[in-house]
Structure 1
Amino acid sequence: MIRAIIIDDEFNAVKNLKWEIESFCSDIEVCDTFTNPVEAISAINYLKPDCVFLDIEMPEMDGFQLLERLTFRDFDLIITSAYDNYAIKAFKEHAVDYLLKPIDSEDLLKAVDRVRENQKRNVLGNQLKNIIKSYVPEKKFSRLALPTLGKTIFVNFEDIIYCKSNGSYTEVHLNTNSMEMLSKKLKEVEAQTNDSFFRVHNSYLVNLHYVKEYVKNEGPYLVLTTGETIPISRAKKNELLQVLNS
């Protein structure tokens, strides 16, 4: 089953598209719909859908601005619009299709077929990766390389308390009461760390070994053993609680 989210500021447009999907695409599950793009951002980051139907013209935030604010983008994007002048920009965002309103059922089916093909390729790709992993042992590193001026510092993961995004850089806060500035984005640092680290917020990656308290009021937020507080995004709250309680 392919899980989809519909985003459109017009309630009737959401209702009509949902009806067409449920009527003509039995393998597509509409797991949620939104007329508020801000709420949709949190839902996409949390639910991690396979496909998103996204309207471009919305008053509070247009579809392209919504895409820029997402941390999760591993889904097939289908743009919906009453205008055809956004098509080029849509495909620059790697949209699999561009549907003009009112949406024709045949056009919808063609777009969904492209999503199905992409999903099949993803499944085959993951299967191939698993086969390769079974024959080639994955290299595990216990240190993070921090390139600085003229040299590279190697820091043990257990010495890292948390990492904080700072534009195109990342602040690496250590248990030696020091901080190193790394010329990498936070998502690049996250990819190099181990299971002890959790991305609790767009701007924060925390070593869970340093978590002292989880405070659900006024936030919520984490209190670290150092006394520092780290905000938790709503999209990450439930997943974090599962990890902390496991």
Structure 2
Amino acid sequence: MQATKIIIVDDEKRIRSSLASVLKLHCPQVTVIAEAENVSTAIAAIKTNQPDIVLLDIKMPDGTGFDLLKQLMPFNFKVIFITAFDQYAIQAFKFSAMDYLLKPVIPAELVVALQRAQQQISAENQDAKLNTFISNMNLMNREPKRIVLNSHDKMNVVSINEVVRCEADRNYTVFSLINKKTILVSRPLKEFDDMLSPFGFFRCHHSHLVNLSFIDRLEKRDGGILIMKDGSEVLVSARKNAELVAALSRI
């Protein structure tokens, strides 16, 4: 099997060396083909070497990792960001389904991120992810407007204001949109609960996450049933009933 080609881009030599050492020790199926310390040298290295994956620092002396990627668009390599950014940027990464590692990088997390990236090479539209991330970053401290949902055959960029509800289907999540479209995503509901709950979504049942803005009414039958504005009905667990009523009163 052909080795996965990697370029490491970081302005600190110590970090580049550490990442390269971890890859050599734990990932024999990859080859570090080049290193770069800034945007300009990274662009040259990427154009010359055509990597499969780029480990990319965000802040560098002559620009940012985003500046680098915008100059290379469209691109078909996978990106794993190396960042010390705050919680709002991390939130934007999650909404955009972009891979990232926090400094200081933990070797085990690097290995997992790399394995995930290898599975996704050439399977996703990296340009669309980057554009979604930049859009969400421009809304730091405010509500992210779009979320990337990867289904089995395509990448969907969806406004969170179009999402009526999410339903667990074993380790998958089914998104129901206001236009009646559904999207099956191979990630568990808990991930989206953590991501969307700060933005007007409520986990009313272990299998259901709803957008509070799309609730039409709460009926008391069967212990509690939500009638959504798209006509769907969602079960409310008994232990969540009082908390849901309180959440609705705050809208």
TM-score range, shorter chain: 0.3 to 0.5
Return the TM-score normalized by structure 1: 0.45
Using the size of structure 2 for normalisation, the TM-score is: 0.44
